[in-house]
């Protein structure tokens, strides 16, 4: 069983999360992995994802963070509310589309 931080709500630059049955809050800029990696926070993951996919003018929705594998999972939605996909990005910046989320 992997350790997953589920993002329940993203509101006013604050993430409401649940982990092991407990609720909490943290900022999207909070470092969740080691300091010597490329991607440390949801802000870093979002920036890298948009740069590598060369997409502009979309909404990003943080979904979860896998602690064991250090994976940030983010959903991309355009402004017509059409989902562009769910992507995972690891702490080194490698992106993978999740087709069965």
pLDDT in tens, 49-78: 999 989 888 999 999 999 999 999 999 998
Structural domain boundaries enclosing 60:
29-98
Residue 52: inside a domain = yes
Query: Domain for residue 63, yes or no?
Result: yes
pLDDT > 60? residue 1:
no
Model confidence at 12, in pLDDT bands (50, 70, 90)?
A: confident
pLDDT bin (cut points 50, 70, 90) of residue 8 is very high
**Per-residue model confidence (pLDDT) at position 35:** 84
Task: Check residue 62 and give its pLDDT.
Answer: 96
Give a yes or no: residue 54 inside a domain: yes
- What does the chain look like in DSSP terms, one character per residue? ---EEEEEEEETTEEEEEETTEEEEE-TT---S-TTSS--SHHHHHHHHHHHHT--SEEEEEEEEETTTTEEEEEEEETTS-EEEEEEEETT--EEEES--
Domain count, the chain: 1
Quote the CA–CA distance of 63 and 61 in Å, as a whole number: 6
- The C-alpha atoms of residue 12 and residue 24 are separated, in whole angstroms, by 15
39 vs 88: CA distance, rounded Å: 12
Overall pTM > 0.95? no
What confidence category does residue 99 fall into, taking pLDDT thresholds of 50, 70 and 90?
confident
pLDDT (mean) for 23-43? 94
């Amino acid at each position: 069983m992997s350790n997953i931080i589920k993002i329940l709500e993203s509101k006013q630059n604050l993430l409401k999360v649940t982990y092991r049955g407990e609720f909490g809050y943290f900022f999207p800029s909070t470092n969740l992995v080691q300091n010597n990696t490329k991607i440390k926070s949801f802000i870093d993951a979002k920036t890298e994802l948009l740069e590598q996919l060369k997409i502009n003018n979309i909404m990003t929705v943080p979904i979860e963070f896998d602690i064991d594998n250090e994976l940030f999972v983010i959903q991309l939605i355009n402004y017509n509310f059409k989902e562009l996909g769910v992507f995972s990005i690891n702490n080194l910046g490698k992106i993978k589309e999740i087709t069965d989320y």
